Chains A and B, each alone.
Chain A
Amino acid sequence: MKANSEISLMKGNEALAEAALRAGMQAYFGYPITPQSEILEYLAVHGTKRGAVILQAESELAAINMVYGAAGAGARVMISSSSPGISLMQEGISYMASAEIPFLIVNVQRGGPGLGTIQPSQGDYFQATKGGGHGDYRLIVLAPASVQEMADFVFDGFRLAEKYRVGTMILADGALGQMMEKVVQPPMGSLPLAEKPWATAGKPPSRERNILTSLFIQPEKMEEVNLKLQRKYREIQSEVRYEAIQVEDADIILVAFGLAARISQKALELARHKGIRVGLVRPITLYPFPSAILSQIALSAEAFLVVEMNAGQMLEDVELAVRGEKPVHFKGRMGGMLPSPEEVLREIESIAAVHAANSELIS
């Protein structure tokens, strides 16, 4: 363990695990799955001796329900897995959304569907941002693009989860989990534990007993619960975060998150070098989605290019934000394959060529 503020070289998975301990995580439940087993392994070594409960469950199903129990009892809890394991957890996530349990879940994505591959992917965007399990609920979804953000977003994740009593997901991928970069860890214990008067942690004489449930048989009551959740999700819209790079003068706007944003940023540099004015919008919160900035940019830019490591999932949210104002193109690779900056550049060049031809026709 490195001292506060010291720069260290860490794997993304390990940086995230170390950050969780510094953020005061009290319990972690997991199950081995590539490419995120290092989170469990790091915590098993470093978490146990720092007083955290670290448990390898018999399955992801058991693990997520241990989270339900521990977080319901008021503990600050994290769980992590990779895509197939996250699918297994959807039942528990839906129940916790209804029961308003705060927790942090990490998905180090791999290519699917099915057992798929252990290579990095962004194929779980829909599942992460649109619900995943049954019923009308949302998770706050944070998309890191560096090892530093793998660490930083743990703090944001716990803070947001506890502020709104929702689940927060860190949506990473196998490459971010496995690659090593320098990281400055946030100082230990800088995220104070809030009071959780709703938790099932013993009944003081001062209040009624707490019962956590997601069962509301009467439809009137169930609708009330849903309306409350929806009010909360509207409030969460104020937490939107994104990074905008060289968008001011840009004709073509790249939109990409996570690892795809890093690839896109390299493509941006290559394109700028060739004199094509390209900008990049990197959504950091995938839910709430930064629609407003995209709607605004749609007024000035000529075209959008969405770059993802999937078949076009965030693409739909970009199209909704742009509302047909400008053409939205897509470049994606699937199944664990990464788009190269050169591939993205070629796409930019062909969009620029069409744009130039159109401009000539008009003038």
Chain B
Amino acid sequence: MSTLVDDLLNQTRTAEQAKYTSKDFQSDQDVRWCPGCGDYSILAQTQRVMPDLGIPKHKVVFVSGIGCSSRFPYYMDTYGFHSIHGRATAIASGIKMARPDLSVWVVTGDGDGMSIGGNHLIHLLRRNLNIKVLLFNNQIYGLTKGQYSPTSELGKVTKSTPYGSIDYPFNPASLALGASSTFVARTMDRDPKHLQAILKRAADHRGTAFVEVYQNCNVFNDGAFFQFTEKESKDDNVVFLEDGKPLVFGKERDKGIRLNGFSPEVVSLKDGKWSVNDLLVHNEKDTTLSFILADMTYKPSLPRPVGIFLAINRPTYEEEMTRQISFAKEKRGEGDMSKLLNSGETWVIN
């Protein structure tokens, strides 16, 4: 069923199919992150992907909260909103409900989105507004110069945890799934191709798309993800999730993940005991499977899952909202404010 919201979005996409290059999305601002920061790559890949989406620049808005990642809107030549710590998701919700025709992107971090913004984030995800959320995860507070964050690992020594963190870290993917997100993915700053592909899929998803991006903070938490991002160790420590394909990994592509009951385990494909046919096959539409895959995240015996955990369809909030407004009008007639004010018990005072 085509709703008003779909029509608006389709108009946005088709009416002005501008021919852009990535340069068109670069603003005139000097990009000010520390030299070597992973944010540069995420910015560049986003600017590369935007022209492919066919959305005119003046229909795009980037919303951020507070943190290093939140400088992002300054650097995109689109509309931008550098807002309040943790509140970007709520502010983006307001934008999307007032202007469903806009393509709304939230840029947040593990501090902004997982600490004070955690509440707003989970409510955006369950409402399923058509908003894209990019969570740059560097497992540290960079802007305030190196305190532990809600994704910092146990035992992490930082300026505010000199004896090691005793707070168990969030797993953003599991949190998003638990909040009934319809699209949950993980990608990495140092894998530009994968990052671009995930951004494109997120943009095409109808509903809230939650993308966790592993991002290296080379000043306060250098190398936090190197075992997953660097050439020498990546193949043995990461399993890329591909829809409809078995979970194979390793330098020699000789290892895989099979389910033992509900528990994933690593099996060797070399010794003849297991074959590719025994392996877990990824299905982006399977919510139960998505939980199992996301739960692999902090298990040291398992490779880190990277890719799309879940991509399902559920009506968006703005569709439901538009439908409800139409329904109310149909049932009760078009509202008339002066009639309403003069109805019921009213008096004329002479």
A residues near B, CB below 8 A?
A: 31-34, 37, 40-41, 44-45, 48, 56, 58-61, 84, 88, 115
- B126 CB-CB contact with A under 8 Å: no
Cβ contact of B159, chosen from A34, A41, A58, A59, cutoff 8 A: A41
- B136 CB-CB contact with A under 8 Å: no
- B180 CB-CB contact with A under 8 Å: no
A37-B147 contact, Cβ under 8 Å, with A45-B162, A48-B162: yes
Contacts of B137-169 to chain A: CB distance below 8 A: 141, 144-145, 147-148, 150, 159-163
Chain B residues, CB < 8 A from A40: 147, 160
- Besides A32-B141, A56-B160, A58-B116, 5 more A-B contacts (Cβ < 8 Å) are A33-B144, A44-B161, A48-B162, A56-B147, A59-B115
Chain B residues, CB < 8 A from A45: 162
Q: How far is the CB of A151 from chain B (nearest CB, A)?
A: 21
Tally of chain B residues near chain A (CB < 8 A): 19
Q: B118 to A58, Cβ gap below 8 A?
A: yes
In the bound complex, CA of A34 to CA of B145 (Å): 9
Chain A residues, CB < 8 A from B144: 32-34, 37
In the bound complex, CA of A238 to CA of B60 (Å): 59
In the bound complex, CA of A59 to CA of B116 (Å): 5
Chain B residues, CB < 8 A from A60: 116
Q: A58 to B147, Cβ gap below 8 A?
A: no
Most buried by B among A31, A56, A59, A61: A56
Interface of A (DSSP majority class): helix
Q: B162 to A44, Cβ gap below 8 A?
A: yes
Most buried by B among A37, A40, A58: A58
The 17 sampled A-B contact pairs (Cβ below 8 Å) are: A32-B144, A32-B147, A32-B160, A33-B144, A34-B144, A37-B160, A41-B159, A44-B161, A45-B162, A48-B162, A48-B163, A56-B147, A56-B161, A58-B116, A60-B116, A61-B116, A88-B116
Most buried by B among A31, A33, A40, A60: A31
Q: How far is the CB of A91 from chain B (nearest CB, A)?
A: 14
- B13 CB-CB contact with A under 8 Å: no
Q: B148 to A115, Cβ gap below 8 A?
A: no
- B238 CB-CB contact with A under 8 Å: no
The 10 tightest CB contacts between A and B, nearest first, are: A59-B116, A32-B144, A58-B115, A56-B160, A41-B159, A32-B147, A45-B162, A44-B160, A37-B144, A44-B162
Q: B85 to A84, Cβ gap below 8 A?
A: yes
